[in-house]
Each structure stands twice: as structure tokens, then as C-alpha cells.
Amino acid sequence: MYTIDFSKPVKIFFVGIGGISMSGLAVILKRAGFDVSGSDRDRSDVTSFLESEGIKVFYGQKKENITEDIDVIVLTAAIHKDNPEYVRMEELGIPHLSRAELVGQLMRNYETSIAISGTHGKTTTTSMISEILLACTDADPTISVGGMLPSIGGNIRVGGKKYFVTEACEYTNSFLNFFPDIALILNVEEDHMDFFKDLDDIRNSFKKFAQLVPKDGTVIISSHIEDTGFFTDALDCKVLTFGLTDKDGKSGKAPDYTAANTVIDAAGNASFDVVLKGEKVSHVSLKVPGEHNILNALAAFAFADAVGVDREVASGALGRFGGTDRRFQKKGIIGDGVILIDDYAHHPTEIKATMKAALSMEHRNLWVVFQPHTYSRTKAFFDDFADALSLADKVVLADIYAARETDDGSVSSEMLSEAIKKKNTDSYYFDSFEKIENFLMQNCQKGDVLITMGAGDVYKIGDSLLER
């Protein structure tokens, strides 16, 4: 593997530079003195930001973008070997790194690297941890987060060498290229079944991730994960647990960090005492709704304790956190009183968590416009999607967002809509965003809550409705 010498900046090219993670890495290297350029399919707000940083962006992935003077190329996971830039790279013999390999090499340049993993909640918990470190006068963290965090004005913050904070995705085992000093495991569930064989395969991957933490490091893991000892018993580092359960299902041990005296307000936001081994150590009042965010906050609080952050500073930072873009983001009011929320949820568990958060709000009808993400995920969790979505009063389905896949005709949004109807929930399918927008304008009423939901471009529906 090519190894970057960060004391000797070279010319580096990112294939797929407009991605949320790739763009952040490009900025870190640019500000470190590297000659950075890259390519992407289309212009976007992200590529415009990159250009404002002095990074050359090529639109359209073409072989002529790859020149002999490039020292190393970074590839996003979506790039295949028939990509013209990949082909040209091979012809010229230019060394390359995956995005995950680059992140792993970056981690070694910081005193403490923090990697947040889990099937769900990575972006929110990474953002919470970032807010805690930003509240510390001497932390100056470098941050790479998978969403737009208002307090840093984007998805990247280039700080000092003390802390590096990043998400750690399990897809294609990319997080096994990391070198975390502190690793968080929020949850372990079935997902990315186009890569993993089964849940046992996924659990083994997360176990290997935990084993990456050195002896003087810390693993922070949810007690809601079945048999946490499977991941932690053989570790020689410090282990902290968090959860809302009384005890782990197998070991019988209570989590180290839990919540007590929880109160939910009219907006669905929780206030609770943070309890460590039976003793109240702080109080947190969140500005983001849902039980899942109590868990995320407990994980972040455990992290704060692990690195010695003052507990009042940590609870204050958690209380100021207002969320990230596309994570239960309240975007405005449509018409004469329809509350619009946008959320990135694209897995049944995430959908249920978002639904429960929305249902805790004062509302008339809960509408959900859902855009399934990838055919393989929709097919693998078809019944679970129908169950989760049926929690809404009204469901509107857009076509499946293909991402990296092609349609083999075995699953569709129309099929999913019919399955939801069988659960006595009103469900509608439309083959265009325009038709969905027109239907919503005619049928949503004052007091309704409308959520646009999915990992694709479904958010455009809400943006369009706000402009009407």
C-alpha cells in the first residue's frame, strides 16, 4: 500500500471528490499543503465549496483528467475498474488508496483519534462529540462528519493535532483500515447485505474493529447490542457501556452509563439525568427528539468522561446541539401550517426511531414521503420496511434510489406501497417528484407533520414545496 508522508505534501487526485467524506479529506490535505484536485459527475454545493478552497474539480470522469504528474489517487468505494479514470490510472501505474485507507493514515497523525461506528446514529453522535470538543478551550479538534454541522459551517473542520473525529462505516469493511484510539459502537444490525453474508458476518466485522483499539485506548459500546461480551471480552483496553436497559441480556451486567428521570417535552425532546454506575453525575436537556438521541447523547457523554472533559461542559454542549442537516431537520412550514421535517433514515430501525420521535410531537396526521435506497436493501428488508412505515398515518412512496445498483425487476416502490396498505395504513405510489408534490399540496392540512425520508434526493420534494 502507498504510504503518504504528511511532512512532504505531494500531488493527490480524488475520484469522486464531491462525496461528503471525500470532500472533507480533500480539504484537510489541501490545508496541509498538498496539491489537491479531483473529479465528480456533477456540480454541487460541495464542489463549489471545494473550488473556493482552491481545489481544481473536473466535471465528468474522463481519462484525460488523470495525468502523469499525479503522485497518488484516492478512490471512492463507488468507483469500478471500468471507470475511465481508473483505467488510465492503471495504464500510468499511479499508486492509489481507498478513502478508508487514507482516513486510516490520517488517524496516525493525531494524538487521539476517535472513530464512531454503528449501523445507525454515526453522524449524530459524531456531531455530538464534535460539539463537546468544540466547547473545550484547548481541544481544537479536526472533524470529518457525514453531514452538514452548522457549528462548523459544513462537514469538515481542520484543527490541531490533538483530536481527530470521524465516522467509521462498516460497508466493505472499510473501518478495518482505521487506527482508532477511542472506538464507539452504537449498534450492530443487518445492513449492506449486498456485501455481508449475514448478521454473524457483520458482528465479526465489528469485533475486528473493536480489536483495532490499543491497550491504552477505550471502546464505548451499547448494552442494547446482543452479547456485548462477544465484542469486548478479549480486549485489553478500557471498555465503557451505555444504554437504557437494566442489564445486558447475556452477561447480566448493567450499563455503566444510563438515563433516569426522563421527561419528554411537546417537541419530543428529552431531559434526563446521566447516571454512572448508579450515581447521578449530570443532567442533559436535548434539543433533538427521540429515544435514539438519548442513547447517542449517553455515548457522547461516556466519550467525554473517557478523555477527561468537564461534565458540565459536556452536558452544556449536548444541550446546545441542534442537530445536523438531514437528521430530523425541521426545514419550515408549508402552506398554512404543515410542519416539514427531512430525515436521512433509510433502514427500518432508523425509520422506526424517526417515526417515534415524530409521533411524540403534537400533530394532526403524520405524513411520510419515503424514497427507498438501493434495490438490495429494499428487497432484503421488504417486510421490515412495510412494518416501520405503517407507523405513519399516510405514506407516499417515490421510486427506489438506485445508487450503485441496477434494477432487476424483483422489487419496487409500488410493491412496497401495496404491502403497507395491507397493514391498514394509507399508502400511495407516484412515479415522479412532481406528482408527489402536487398530491401533497392537495391533501396535507394545517397541523400535519410531513417527513421527507431517505438517503437519496427525496429532500428535493420538501425544498420544492417550501418554494411554492
Helix or strand run (H / E) with residue 119: none
Residue 219, C-beta contacts closer than 8 angstroms, at least 6 positions apart: 182, 183, 184, 185, 210, 213, 231, 232, 235, 237, 238, 239, 240
| Size (the chain), residues | 468
Active-site hit among 47, 112, 119, 123: 123
Active-site hit among 47, 85, 122, 228: 122
Taking the C-alpha atoms of residue 247 and residue 351, their distance in angstroms, rounded to an integer, is 26
According to DSSP H, which parts of 57-115 are helical?
84-92, 99-107
Q: What's the angle, vertex CA 89, arms to CA 155 and CA 37, rounded to 5?
A: 35
Active site residue 349: no
Residue 151, C-beta contacts closer than 8 angstroms, at least 6 positions apart: 130, 131, 134
Active site residue 123: yes
User: What is the pairing mode between strands 154-157 and 142-149?
Assistant: antiparallel
Active site residue 170: no
Beta strands in 248-383 (DSSP E): 257-264, 269-276, 279-289, 329-334, 338-343, 366-370
Helix or strand run (H / E) with residue 201: helix 199-210
Check: CB of residue 369 under 8 Å from CB of residue 457: no
Active-site hit among 85, 101, 131, 167: 167
How many other C-beta atoms are found inside a 10 Å radius of the C-beta of residue 311?
15
Residues belonging to the active site? 122-123, 167
